[in-house]
Amino acid sequence: MKPDRSTLLLVLGILSVIVCAPIGIAAFVMGRSDLREIDAGDRDPQGRGMTQAGMICGIVGMVVFALQIFFVAVGLLLPAMAAG
């Protein structure tokens, strides 16, 4: 049985929300993989809740990152469209 990585996933998820949103991609991908392995019985199920929390924080981080990209793009395009 593979060891539990729930603490790592939770830290990555929280960091994606607070510091660096692209880390959320890693938290989501790793969390989803670990949950599949837990369901299959290949990984220790002890940290399932923390794994889910890390994955959800990763999703929130990805959404924040997407919104940041959108608002930066709009902020750059609107003045250019208004000038031209």
Looking at the domain assignment, is residue 1 inside a domain?
no
Q: Torsion over CA of 47, 50, 53 and 55, rounded to 10 degrees?
A: -60
Is residue 78 scored above 90 in pLDDT?
A: no
Quote the pLDDT of residue 55: 95
Residue 58 contacts residue 11 (beta carbons within 8 Å): no
Looking at the domain assignment, is residue 61 inside a domain?
yes
Round the CA-based radius of gyration of the chain to a whole number and report it. 17
Is residue 74 scored above 80 in pLDDT?
A: yes
When pLDDT is averaged across residues 68-79 and rounded to a whole number, the result is 92
Give the residue numbers spanning the domain of 46.
Answer: 6-83
Q: What is the pTM of this model?
A: 0.85
**Count of structural domains, the chain:** 1
Q: How far is Cα 42 from Cα 72, in angstroms, rounded to an integer?
A: 42
pLDDT tens digits for 31-64?
999 999 999 999 989 999 999 999 999 999 999 9
Question: Which SS3 state, helix, strand or coil, does residue 32 take?
Answer: helix
Quote the pLDDT of residue 22: 87
Residue 31 contacts residue 58 (beta carbons within 8 Å): yes
